[in-house]
């Protein structure tokens, strides 16, 4: 528990082998904007064309980062294909309840997940 006037100056996270091969991608309205409309942090491990482990988290789609637990579960032990990535995105976003002004973020998040994982797998499967 922090005492009054104390400040957190560092956070140490345990090293995970999967995290050594992680990627981050953000979609912005314009290059001059620093903030992302939608972002995705991803780490995927593929062995013999099958997803052995995966971690996914969206930014910019909710009031806090959104861990994509359902998509991760859908991907584990599946073939690392565009079809599987689309299915995982659909599973994750099926319950999305966007506001009228940001409904565009649902298909944007879906496409970002698919494209980011395809690029990551094509770049070496990790």
Residue 64 lies in a domain: yes
| pLDDT reading at 95 higher than 50 | yes
Alpha carbon distance 36, 61 (integer Å)? 10
Q: Give the pLDDT score at 117.
A: 96
Give the range of the structural domain holding residue 106, as residue numbers without chain letter.
18-122
Find out whether 51 and 44 touch, Cβ atoms under 8 Å: yes
Q: pLDDT tens digit string along 114-123? A: 999 999 998 8
pLDDT at residue 123 in the model: 85
11: DSSP letter: -
Please work out, in degrees rounded to the nearest 5, the angle formed at the alpha carbon of residue 8 by the alpha carbons of 7 and 12: 165
49 pLDDT above the threshold of 90: yes
Structural domain count of the chain: 1
Q: Under a CB-based contact definition with an 8 Å cutoff, are residues 61 and 41 in contact?
A: no
The model's pTM is 0.83
Q: Is residue 4 part of a domain?
A: no
**9 domain residue, yes or no:** no
Q: In angstroms, rounded to a whole number, what is the distance separating the alpha carbons of residues 28 and 30?
A: 5
The span from the CA of 124 to the CA of 45, in Å, is: 10
pLDDT for 45 equals 93
**What residue has token string 């599973």?**
91
Joined together, the tokens standing for residue 123 give 């770049």
CATH of the domain at 105: 3.30.390.50
Residue 126: the pLDDT is 47
49: which DSSP letter? T
- Weakest mean pLDDT among 20-34, 40-54, 62-76: 20-34
């Amino acid at each position: 528990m922090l005492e009054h006037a104390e400040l957190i100056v560092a956070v140490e996270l345990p090293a995970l082998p999967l995290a050594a091969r992680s990627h981050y991608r953000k979609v912005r309205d314009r290059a001059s904007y620093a903030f992302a409309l939608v972002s995705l942090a991803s780490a995927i491990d593929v062995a013999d064309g099958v997803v052995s482990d995966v971690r996914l988290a969206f930014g910019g789609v909710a009031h806090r980062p959104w861990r994509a637990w359902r998509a991760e579960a859908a991907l584990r032990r599946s073939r690392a294909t565009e079809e599987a990535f689309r299915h995982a995105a659909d599973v994750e976003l099926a319950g999305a309840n966007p506001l009228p002004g940001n409904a565009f973020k649902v298909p944007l998040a879906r496409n970002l997940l698919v494209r980011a994982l395809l690029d990551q797998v094509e770049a070496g499967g990790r």
